[in-house]
Amino acid sequence: MENDIVRNKKPFKPVIVLLYGFLILLALVYLLPLAWVVVTSLKDDTVIMTSPWALPEKVMFENYTYAWTMGQMGKALLNSLIVSTATLILSMIIGAMAAFAIAKLQWKLSRLTLLYFMIGMMIPIHCLLIPLFVEFSNMPLLNSILVDHLHLFSEKLSLKDTRIGLIIPYVTFSLPITIYIMVGFFESIPNELFEAAVIDGCSVPHMFVTVAIPMARTGFMVTGLMSFVNNWNELLVALVFLTKEELKTLPLALSKFVGPYHTNYTQMFAAIMIAVIPTIIVYVLFANQIVDGLTAGAVKG
Where exactly are the structural domains of the chain?
71-295
Tell the CATH topology of 71-295: MetI-like fold (1.10.3720)
The stretch 219-225 carries a mean pLDDT of: 86
Look at residues 95, 49, 69, 32 and name the one whose alpha carbon lies nearest to residue 224: 95
pTM of the predicted model, to two decimals?
Answer: 0.78
CB atoms within 10 A of CB 111: 10
Give residues with Cβ within 8 angstroms of 225, minimum separation 6. 282, 283, 286, 290
| pLDDT tens-place string over residues 146-156 | 445 444 444 45
Residue-wise pLDDT tens digits, 233-292: 888 888 888 888 888 898 888 887 776 666 777 888 888 888 888 888 887 777 676 666
Question: What's the pLDDT score for residue 86?
Answer: 93
Q: At residue 3, does pLDDT exceed 60?
A: no
Please check the confidence at residue 93 and state whether its pLDDT lies above 90. Answer: yes
Q: What is the pLDDT of residues 195-212, one digit of tens each?
A: 888 888 888 888 898 888
